[in-house]
Amino acid sequence: MKHIIIGGVAGGATAAARIRRTDEKAEIFLLEKGKYISYANCGLPYYIGGTIAEREKLFMQTPASFAKRFNIDVRVENEVIGIDTTKKRVEVRRADGSTYTENYDKMLLSPGASPCVRL
């Protein structure tokens, strides 16, 4: 079974790890448009407020360590730009602008949110 997870922060990384725990043979692809995965997003207010001085203290895993630990294909700076649920296929854009498609059996959407500052 091939799983595509769109979004690699809290929800996506947790789902990927859980799938691995329940199915050792699954193919799992974690696609994250940013550079980082699995950071402590609950700690963001403390970083913004200055209680946590270094942003790196928020990172729980590097993409490489997460991939190795859970045997997952982690692709950072890979943004999903199209989803075809009929053909079970996603279109992905790499950081260099090139695109590719990836087929899946199951897909999970966990793209997160964008912060906004209200004045």
The CATH number of the domain holding residue 91 is 3.50.50.60
Opening angle at CA 18, ends 15 and 19, nearest 5: 85
Q: How far apart are CA 47 and CA 43, in angstroms?
A: 6
Task: Give the whole-angstrom CA distance, residue 26 versus residue 47.
Answer: 36
Give the pLDDT of residue 10. 82
**Is residue 119 a part of any domain in this protein?**
no
Per-residue pLDDT at 112 exceeds 90: no
In a domain, 91, yes or no: yes
**Structure confidence by residue, pLDDT tens digits, 12-55:** 999 999 999 999 999 999 999 999 887 766 777 888 888 888 87
In a domain, 47, yes or no: yes
- 47 vs 23: CA distance, rounded Å: 36
Active site residues: 42
Evaluate whether residue 115 is within a structural domain: no
Residue 116 lies in a domain: no
- Which residues form the domain of 29? 2-109
Q: Looking at the domain assignment, is residue 28 inside a domain? A: yes
pLDDT of residue 56: 77
Q: How many domains, the chain?
A: 1
Mean pLDDT, residues 57-70: 88
The pTM of the full predicted model, rounded to 2 decimals, is 0.84
Q: Is residue 114 part of a domain?
A: no
Residue with tokens 């946590």: 52
Residue 66 within a domain: yes
Share of the chain above pLDDT 70, in %: 97
Read off the pLDDT of residues 81-108 as tens digits, 9 standing for 90 and up: 999 999 999 999 999 999 999 999 999 9
